C-alpha cells in the first residue's frame, strides 16, 4: 500500500490558563472525551490514518524486518525450561514449547523421577491466550497446602486483571471470579482467603481486600483503604509466612501495617506512621522486625524493632554514601542484603548472631548484573542467584551458603550461536556539563571500525536503574557495526538515592543534559560521529527522547520513542488521570505550584516543539495504555508534522489492541523490535 502524503491533524484552537500563564493546545481534541473508552470516530480515523502511513513507509522495509525478526527468533531457544525450584512438597518450573508465544507452569513432587511421569501442568498460558490478540499473566499463587492455584489475566492491555481460582488436581475452575484487580494474590487463613487489590475507576489501587473462597464477591472485606489519592496499596507475605504485610506509599513516602496471616480480620499493627520523604519496608523473624528505611540516610539503613514496639527502630546496618542498600531478604538462619557499590550490584550474606560477619558473593566480571532469584522457602541453605553482563548471557547459579561456592545450573542458550570472545565491553565515565561524571556501559564487536554508528539508550526516571545486562536482540545492531551504549543518567538510582534525586523535580533537566553530554563524550572518544547516533527510550524514556530532539536535534540520526510521556504539563494538570496525583512527588504539582508549572512547561516535549529540523522519528502508542495515554504521542506527532522544517521521516504506530508494553507474546514482541531496528538501519544508511 502506497500513500502519497502523511495525515495532517486538524487544528482546533484550545488554550488553558494557570497562575496567570496561558498555554495553547490545538490538538487537545485527540483526547476522546469518553476515555478510557475510545469511540470518537474522528479520533479513531486519525489514528488509523497514522497507522496506514506507518505501514506505507515501512512496507518497503518488510524484507529487512522479516530478516531481522528471523535472526532475533533464531537466538531464542524455542523449547526451553527454567531450572526447577523447590517450594514445599513440590519442584516448580516454567516451560516454553516449540513455537509457543506463552509458557506453561509445571510441578512434580519432590523426590519423584525426572522422567515426566509425575509432572503436573498447573497453568497453561498457551490455552488461556488462544484466540486473543493480547494476553498477559498478572499474578500467580499456589495455596499453602498445594491444592489450589490463583492467577489473574489481562487480555486487552488495560492492566485490569481478572483473578480466577482452580483445583490443581482436577482442573476444576471454581466459581470465584474477581475482575478489576491490579495486584498480587496472597493466600491467608489456611488457604480459605485470598488478599488482593482492586484498581478503582482512576486505575489506582487504594485498597487491600479479602475474598473468602467460595463466597460471593459482595462478602469480600476491605482490610485497608487509602485516602491519599497519590498513594498505592499492595500486599505481600513475610518470609516466614506468618504476617500479611500491607504497604502503602507514593514515590517518596511509605507506611506499613502487619496483620496475622492466620487471622486477617485482626486489627492491623501500624509499624510507624507515615512521614513525608521517608520510605520503608518490613519483614519479621522471631518477634523482631527488620526495617529497610531511608530516614537517617538517603541510601537506606537496615534497622530492627521489637514487634511489641514497632516504631522503636535501632540501626543494624548504617546507611552510607558508598553502599546503596536496595533491599533485604530474611531466611531462618541468615539474611541477605542487596545493593550497589558505584553502580554495580552487590549481594551479601549476613548472620543474625554475628553482625560483623559479612560474606559477599563474588562474581568474575568488572561490570555485570546480579540478583537473588526465586528463593521461596524460609529454611534455605542454597540460594538461587541470577547473573549476566553485556557480553555474558543470563545464567542461573546455586550459591551454597556454608561453602560460599557457586554452582552453575544453566546458561541462556543461543541456538544460532554466540561467541563472547568476539565482543568487548567497557564501563566509562563521561563528564556532564556541570562536571558530574556519568557512567556509561558500552558493548561492541572487536572488529568494529572506529567512528561507526552507535545506539544510545536511556531512561532516567523514578529511581529505576538500567543495568548492564545481556540482550539477544541487541546483537542485531552490534553485529552490523554498531556500538551499543546505556547511559546511566541522573533520575535513575544507578549510583544511589542522591543520583535519583538529582534528576527529579527541579533537577529534572539534569537527566536530559546528561544524555546529550554522554553522546558528545562518546563522539569525542571516537566511538561515533554526530548524526550517526540512533537513540531510543520508552515511557519516561520517551520523554527523554522528546527533550533531546528539541534541544540537540543535529546529534541524532534516528530516534525511536516508545509510548512516550511527552505531554507532561497537560498530564500533570489533570488530577483525574490514573497516575497523576501519585506522580506529583516525581515531577512537581503544576496545579498548586507556579514554579513547577513553569519548569514543566519549559521542558515538556510537546509544549517545546519548535520550527526547526528534527531527526527521523518513529513513535509508538497503545490505545489501551493507562500509563501514557494514546493521545500524548498522537498530539506530539501532529504538532511535529505542523511545525518541523525538514523532510525527515516521522511515523506513528498505535497498537489498537494493546497497552503500555506493546504486543504480548515472546515472538510477537520481537516483531516490534525488528521494526524499530529496520527503521534505525534505514535512516542511518547501514546495510541490513
Q: What contacts 203, CB < 8 A, 6 or more positions away?
A: 159, 160, 182, 578, 579, 626
Please report, for the chain, the start and end positions of each structural domain, with discontinuous segments joined by +: 18-73+417-684, 113-279
Q: Determine the pLDDT at residue 96.
A: 96
Half-sphere exposure of 386 (CA within 13 A, CB side): 13
Which one of 3.30.450.40, 1.10.10.10, 3.40.50.1820, 3.30.460.10 gives the CATH number of domain 18-73+417-684? 3.40.50.1820
Single out the catalytic residue among 220, 283, 345, 625: 625
Q: Determine the pLDDT at residue 156.
A: 86
The grid coordinates of residue 166 equal: 482452580
CA 210-214-216 angle, to 5 degrees, is 70
Single out the catalytic residue among 211, 455, 488, 660: 660
Q: Determine the pLDDT at residue 657.
A: 75
Chunked into runs of 10 residues, the chain (688 residues) has average pLDDT values of: 87 96 97 92 97 96 97 96 97 96 97 96 96 94 98 91 97 97 97 96 92 97 95 97 97 96 98 97 98 98 98 98 97 98 95 96 91 97 97 97 97 97 97 98 96 98 96 98 98 96 98 98 98 97 98 98 97 89 93 97 98 98 88 98 98 82 76 97 93
Q: Determine the pLDDT at residue 661.
A: 59
Q: In what order do the strands lie in the sheet with 269-270?
A: 232-237, 243-249, 254-260, 269-270
Q: Determine the pLDDT at residue 31.
A: 96
Q: One fold for both 18-73+417-684 and 113-279? A: no
Q: Determine the pLDDT at residue 576.
A: 85
Active site residue 539: yes
**How far is the C-alpha of 393 from the C-alpha of 232, rounded, in Å?**
35
Active site residue 601: no
Active site residue 625: yes
| 357 within 8 A of 350, measured Cβ to Cβ | yes
CA 668 to chain centre: 19
Half-sphere exposure of 322 (CA within 13 A, CB side): 2
Q: Determine the pLDDT at residue 669.
A: 86
pTM of the model: 0.93
By C-alpha distance, which of 226, 127, 148, 123 is closest to 183?
226
The grid coordinates of residue 585 equal: 512527588
Fold of 113-279: Methylamine Dehydrogenase; Chain H (2.130.10)
Single out the catalytic residue among 197, 539, 604, 664: 539
Q: Determine the pLDDT at residue 36.
A: 85
Amino acid at each position: 500500500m502506497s500513500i502519497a502524503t502523511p495525515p495532517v491533524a486538524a487544528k482546533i484552537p484550545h488554550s488553558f490558563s494557570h497562575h496567570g500563564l496561558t498555554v495553547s493546545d490545538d490538538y487537545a481534541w485527540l483526547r476522546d472525551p469518553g476515555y478510557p473508552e475510545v469511540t470518537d470516530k474522528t479520533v479513531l480515523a486519525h489514528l488509523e490514518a497514522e497507522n496506514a502511513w506507518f505501514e506505507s513507509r515501512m512496507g518497503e522495509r518488510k524484507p529487512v524486518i522479516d530478516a531481522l525478526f528471523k535472526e532475533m527468533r533464531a537466538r531464542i531457544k524455542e523449547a526451553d525450561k527454567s531450572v526447577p525450584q523447590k517450594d514445599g512438597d513440590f519442584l516448580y518450573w516454567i516451560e516454553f514449547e516449540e513455537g509457543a508465544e506463552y509458557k506453561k507452569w509445571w510441578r512434580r513432587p519432590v523426590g519423584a523421577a525426572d522422567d515426566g511421569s509425575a509432572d503436573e501442568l498447573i497453568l497453561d498460558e498457551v490455552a488461556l491466550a488462544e484466540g486473543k490478540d493480547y494476553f498477559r499473566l498478572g499474578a500467580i499463587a499456589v495455596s499453602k497446602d498445594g491444592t489450589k492455584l490463583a492467577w489473574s489475566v489481562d487480555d486487552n492491555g488495560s492492566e485490569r486483571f481478572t483473578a480466577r481460582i482452580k483445583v490443581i488436581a482436577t482442573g476444576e475452575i471454581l466459581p470465584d471470579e474477581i475482575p478489576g484487580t491490579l495486584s498480587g494474590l496472597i493466600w491467608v487463613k489456611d488457604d480459605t482467603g485470598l488478599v488482593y487489590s482492586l484498581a478503582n475507576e482512576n486505575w489506582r489501587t487504594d485498597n487491600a481486600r479479602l475474598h473468602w473462597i467460595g463466597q460471593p464477591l459482595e462478602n469480600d472485606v476491605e482490610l485497608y483503604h487509602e485516602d491519599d489519592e497519590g498513594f498505592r496499596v499492595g500486599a505481600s507475605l513475610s518470609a516466614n509466612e506468618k504476617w500479611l504485610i500491607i504497604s502503602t506509599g507514593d514515590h517518596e513516602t511509605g507506611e506499613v501495617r502487619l496483620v496475622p496471616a492466620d487471622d486477617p480480620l485482626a486489627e492491623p499493627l501500624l509499624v510507624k506512621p507515615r512521614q513525608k520523604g521517608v520510605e520503608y519496608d518490613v519483614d519479621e523473624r522471631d518477634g523482631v522486625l527488620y526495617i529497610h528505611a531511608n530516614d537517617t540516610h538517603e541510601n537506606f539503613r537496615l534497622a530492627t524493632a521489637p514487634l511489641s514496639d514497632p516504631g522503636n527502630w535501632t540501626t543494624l546496618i548504617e546507611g552510607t554514601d558508598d553502599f546503596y542498600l536496595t533491599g533485604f531478604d530474611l531466611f531462618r538462619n541468615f539474611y541477605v542484603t542487596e545493593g550497589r557499590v558505584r553502580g554495580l550490584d552487590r549481594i551479601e550474606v549476613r548472620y543474625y548472631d554475628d553482625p560483623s560477619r559479612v560474606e559477599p558473593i563474588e562474581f568474575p566480571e568488572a561490570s555485570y548484573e546480579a540478583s537473588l532469584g526465586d528463593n521461596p522457602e524460609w529454611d534455605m541453605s542454597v540460594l538461587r542467584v541470577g547473573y549476566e553482563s553485556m557480553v555474558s548471557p543470563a545464567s542461573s547459579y546455586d550459591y551454597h551458603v556454608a561453602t560460599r561456592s557457586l554452582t552453575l545450573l544453566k546458561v541462556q542458550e543461543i541456538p544460532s550461536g554466540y561467541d563472547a570472545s568476539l565482543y568487548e565491553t567497557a564501563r566509562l565515565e563521561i563528564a556532564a556539563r556541570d562536571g558530574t561524571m556519568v557512567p556509561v556501559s558500552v558493548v561492541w564487536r572487536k572488529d568494529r571500525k572506529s567512528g561507526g554508528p552507535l545506539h544510545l539508550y536511556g531512561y532516567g526516571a523514578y529511581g529505576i536503574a538500567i543495568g548492564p545486562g545481556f540482550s539477544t536482540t541487541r546483537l542485531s545492531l552490534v553485529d552490523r557495526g554498531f556500538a551499543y551504549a546505556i547511559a546511566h543518567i541522573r533520575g535513575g538510582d544507578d549510583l544511589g538515592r542522591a543520583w535519583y534525586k538529582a534528576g527529579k523535580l527541579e533537577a529534572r533537566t539534569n537527566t536530559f543534559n546528561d544524555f546529550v553530554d554522554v553522546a558528545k563524550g562518546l563522539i569525542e572518544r571516537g566511538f561515533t560521529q554526530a548524526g550517526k547516533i540512533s537513540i531510543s527510550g520508552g515511557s519516561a524514556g520517551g520523554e527523554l527522547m522528546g527533550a533531546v530532539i528539541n534541544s540537540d536535534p543535529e546529534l541524532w540520526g534516528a530516534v525511536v520513542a516508545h509510548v512516550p510521556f511527552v505531554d507532561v504539563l497537560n498530564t500533570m494538570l489533570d488530577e483525574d488521570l490514573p497516575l497523576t496525583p501519585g506522580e506529583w512527588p516525581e515531577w512537581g504539582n503544576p496545579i498548586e505550584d507556579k514554579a513547577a508549572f513553569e519548569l514543566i512547561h519549559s521542558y515538556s516535549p510537546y509544549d517545546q516543539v519548535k520550527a526547526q529540523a528534527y531527526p527521523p522519528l518513529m513513535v509508538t502508542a497503545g490505545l489501551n495504555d493507562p500509563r501514557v495515554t494514546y493521545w500524548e504521542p498522537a498530539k506530539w506527532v501532529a504538532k511535529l508534522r505542523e511545525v518541523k522544517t525538514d523532510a525527515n521521516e516521522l511515523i506513528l504506530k498505535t497498537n489498537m489492541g494493546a497497552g503500555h508494553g506493546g504486543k504480548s507474546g515472546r515472538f510477537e514482541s520481537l516483531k516490534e523490535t525488528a521494526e524499530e531496528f529496520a527503521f534505525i538501519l534505514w535512516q542511518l544508511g547501514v546495510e541490513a
